[in-house]
Amino acid sequence: MRLLLIALVLLFLCACGGYELKNLAKSDIDLVTDQFITKTREDVSELVVMLYKRNPEQLAKNPGMTIEGRLAQLKVRRYKLQFLELEYNQGIDAMNLAFSPSFTGDRVFALVVGLGSMLRQAYAYQPEMFLPDQLDAQVLLTSAQNVEMLVWKLKNARKPNGEHYIITYEKSGVVDNLSFERLFGEIIVLQEMMAGIVGDSDNRTVTGAVYAVSKVFIPLPI
């Protein structure tokens, strides 16, 4: 069953192209994981564009900064995402900044850096995987649950004045066309699928927990 799932995922995600020599040092799961890593990073980049278009005032907090500039900042760092303007916070710490009433910086940047670095942590900060590399299925699943919590916070968390911290689904009373829902849903599915593949390969049981009651992000297991 696992081999069939891997084959289907490869067919779905991989474009037909030349076989690279470095792939000799990769297992089937490594090849699948590489595609998942690439896709999640692409999704985060797409989210950057969508969020800044909805929240241009956040980008304006850094005079001269552009959407292209933000994308370049994320792309140039292949491993960890650490930035002085966020006091080097990553993962859930950076995401929490985006919803902190006392934070005066770019909330969109805090959110995407937090999300992007959490996803990178789930893949052991590797831009691609090789045979000696190993992933933790529980870490991957927890990252998916945190994305679900992020979606909840974007819809429900509000400033003391009642305004959303970051506008996504609704603006001026007009409901969005669910493009954000699609994008976040895709990231959640990718992380859950990867957790299943890794858990199956390790013969480990991956436990899911309901975190909706706590309404907080969960640190990834170490």
Two tokens, residue 12: 């779905």
Give yes or no for residue 19 having a pLDDT over 80: no
User: Can you give the pLDDT at residue 165?
Assistant: 97
Two tokens, residue 116: 């992007």
User: Can you give the pLDDT at residue 84?
Assistant: 96
The confidence band for 213, taking pLDDT boundaries of 50, 70 and 90, is very low
User: For residues 113 and 120, what is the distance between their CA atoms, to the nearest angstrom?
Assistant: 10
Report the pLDDT averaged over residues 140-164: 95
User: For residues 103 and 125, what is the distance between their CA atoms, to the nearest angstrom?
Assistant: 27
User: For residues 222 and 217, what is the distance between their CA atoms, to the nearest angstrom?
Assistant: 15
Report the pLDDT averaged over residues 10-39: 69
Nearest to 136 by CA among 214, 222, 21: 222
- Range of lowest pLDDT (63-77, 121-135, 156-170): 121-135
Two tokens, residue 192: 């859950």
- Range of lowest pLDDT (50-54, 62-66, 197-201): 197-201
The confidence band for 76, taking pLDDT boundaries of 50, 70 and 90, is confident
Give me the amino acid identity at 222.
Answer: I
User: Can you give the pLDDT at residue 103?
Assistant: 97
Two tokens, residue 152: 């909840």
Only one residue has tokens 């590399």, namely 133
Domain ranges of the chain: 25-201
User: Residue length, the chain?
Assistant: 222
Identify any residues that bridge with 158 across adjacent strands, giving them in sequence order. Answer: 164
The confidence band for 12, taking pLDDT boundaries of 50, 70 and 90, is low
How far separated are the first and last CA of the chain, in Å rounded? Answer: 29
User: For residues 174 and 32, what is the distance between their CA atoms, to the nearest angstrom?
Assistant: 39
CB count within 10 Å of CB 110 equals: 26
